[in-house]
Amino acid sequence: MKGHDGSLAQAISAVDKVIGEVNTQAKQVEKEIHAACEKLREMVNEREAQLLSEVETVRHEKEKELVSQKHLLEFLLVGIRESTQFGEVLVKEGSESEIVASQKEVVSRLASLDQEKEKSQMEPATDSTIVFEGEGGGLSQVGEVIKGFGSVVSRDISAQKSSIEGQPSGSVSINQAVSFKVTVVDKKGS
């Protein structure tokens, strides 16, 4: 029985050693997973910043174009209003000679503003469309790749499928050399 006690103690010790190695290996793999996922997050964050910058650029360009158009239209509106008011005041309060003297100038100014108005785009110079093409831009494909990203593999050794060949003939004594071949097979039979 004493021989069995020693072999059982050795087996328990070997199992304890493997338990420790499993824990150490699991912690190492967790670190690797964290590092890989952090790299993915960094790439996603960089892409997000780039896309947000593109939105800001498009917004700025559209707004710049529309503000410029608005200023021109406001200038024309003020010019037409002031010229019209001047003409109305001149007709109501001016003398006949003042009206005749200013008529050509007022008419010329109104005609000039009217021509500028005709040249000006009356509809907004650009539309309000700014679109994020996430789905069409590959979001679903990226999602599928991320879902399948990485794997955790256990190279699980099967004691039942593994074998030891070569038994010493006769009895063996302590510190006597023996030889045997160990064939280790995982649970999948590889």
What does the pLDDT read at residue 107?
Answer: 81
What is the pLDDT at residue 167? 65
Counting the structural domains of the chain, the total is: 2
Question: Looking at the structure, do residues 62 and 135 belong to the same domain, yes or no?
Answer: yes
- Residues 139, 161 within the same domain: no
> Are 164 and 144 within one domain?
no
- Tell me, yes or no, if the pTM score tops 0.85: no
> Are 102 and 180 in a shared domain?
no
If asked whether residues 132 and 58 sit together in one domain, one would say yes
Specify the pLDDT at position 158.
67
- Domain identity same for 40 and 50: yes
Range of the domain at 140: 2-153
CB contact at 8 A, 184 and 157: yes
Calpha distance 179→172 (Å, rounded) = 12
Judgement on whether residues 138 and 182 belong to the same structural domain of the protein = no
Per-residue confidence (pLDDT) for residue 108, from 0 to 100: 84
Q: Is the domain of 97 the same as that of 71?
A: yes
Give the per-residue pLDDT at 21.
92
Per DSSP (E only), the strands in 82-144 are none
Q: Look at the block and give the residue holding tokens 């190279």.
A: 155
Torsion of Cα atoms, 104 then 108 then 110 then 113, to 10°: -170
Per-residue pLDDT of the chain (190 residues; tens, 9 = 90+): 455 577 788 888 999 999 999 999 999 999 999 999 999 999 989 989 999 999 999 999 999 999 999 998 898 889 888 888 888 888 888 888 887 788 888 788 888 888 888 877 788 888 888 888 876 667 777 877 888 787 776 667 766 777 777 666 666 667 666 666 767 677 666 6
What is residue 183's three-state secondary structure? strand
